[in-house]
Chain A
Amino acid sequence: MSEKTKKDAYKSYLDETGGRKGIFKWILSTDHKRIGLLYLYSIMGWFFIGVVLGVLMKLELIAPGQTIMGAQAYNATFTVHGVIMIFLIVIPGLPAVFGNFLLPLQIGAPDVAFPKLNLFSWYIYVFGSILVVSSLFAGGGPPDTGWTFYAPYSFKTGTNMLPAVLGAFVLGFSSILTGLNFIVTIHRMRAPGMTWMKMPLFPWTIYGTGWIQLLATPVVGITLLMVIGERIFNIGFFDPAKGGDPILYQHLFWIYSHPAVYIMILPAMGAISEIIPTFAKKTIYGYRAIVISTMAIAFVGYFVWGHHMFTSGMSGTALFTFSLLTFIVAIPSAIKVFNWVSTMYQGSISTEVPFLWAASFIFVFLVGGLTGLVLGALATDVHVHDTAFVVGHFHFIVFGGTGFAFFGALHYWFPKIYGRMYDKSWARTGWVIFLIGFIGLYGPMFYLGMKGMPRRYFDYLPEYHGPNILSSFGALIMVTGFIIIVINLINSARSGKKAEANPWGGTNLEWQVPSPPSLLNFDEIPTIDKAPYKYD
Chain B
Amino acid sequence: MSYVHRDDTGSKMAMWLFIFTELLLFGGLFITYAVYRYLHPEAFHLAGQELDVTIGTINTVILLISSATIAMSITAIQQKKKKLSLFLIGTTIVLALIFLVNKYFEWGAKFEHGIFPGSEYLDQLGYGDTLFFGLYFFMTGLHAFHIIIGMAVLGFMFYFVKIDRLTHDNFQLLENGGLYWHLVDLIWIFLFPLFYLIA
Contacts and interface: CB of A to CB of B under 8 A. Distances in A.
A96 B112 CA distance: 49
A158 interface: no
B131 A237 contact: yes
Nearest to B2: A30
Nearest to A223: B28
Contact of A221 (B25, B35, B126, B131): B25
Contact of A219 (B1, B27, B123): B27
Given A113-B14, A218-B25, A218-B28, A242 B130 contact: yes
B142 A225 contact: yes
Contact of B24 (A18, A29, A218): A218
Nearest to A30: B2
Contacts of A180: 14, 17-18, 21
B29 A176 contact: no
Interface size, A (range): 35 or more
Contacts of A114: 14
A111 B28 contact: no
B113 interface: no
A110 B29 CA distance: 40
A233 B29 CA distance: 17
Nearest to B131: A243
A237 B32 contact: yes
B128 interface: yes
A115 B3 contact: yes
B126 A187 contact: no
B35 A243 contact: no
Contacts of A71: none
Given A18-B2, A188-B13, A214-B20, A236 B134 contact: yes
B20 to A, nearest CB: 7
Contact of A183 (B17, B22, B142): B17
Interface in A481-536: 519-520
B7 A188 contact: yes
A49 interface: no
B3 A222 contact: no
A136 B130 CA distance: 34
Nearest to A187: B13
Contact of A110 (B5, B9, B35): B5
B17 A31 contact: no
Interface residues of B, number: 39
A12 to B, nearest CB: 15
Residues of B contacting A: mostly: helix
A31 B2 CA distance: 7
A236 B135 CA distance: 9
Interface in A90-123: 110-111, 113-115
A56 interface: no
B163 interface: no
A350 B123 CA distance: 70
B138 interface: yes
B126 A235 contact: no
Contact of B118 (A234, A245, A248): A234
B3 A110 contact: yes
A77 B123 CA distance: 36
Contacts of B131: 236-237, 242-244
Given A111-B3, A180-B18, A243 B9 contact: no
B25 A222 contact: yes
A218 B21 contact: yes
Contact of B21 (A29, A113, A176, A236): A176
Contacts of A225: 142
A184 B10 contact: yes
B2 A115 contact: yes
A244 B22 CA distance: 24
A532 B39 CA distance: 55
Given A222-B28, A236-B130, A244-B131, A18 B138 contact: no
Interface of A: 18, 29-31, 110-111, 113-115, 176, 180-181, 183-184, 187-189, 214-215, 217-219, 221-223, 225-226, 229, 233-237, 242-245, 248, 252, 255, 519-520
9 pairs of A and B residues whose beta carbons are closest in the complex: A243-B127, A234-B118, A222-B28, A218-B24, A235-B134, A218-B25, A188-B10, A233-B117, A235-B117
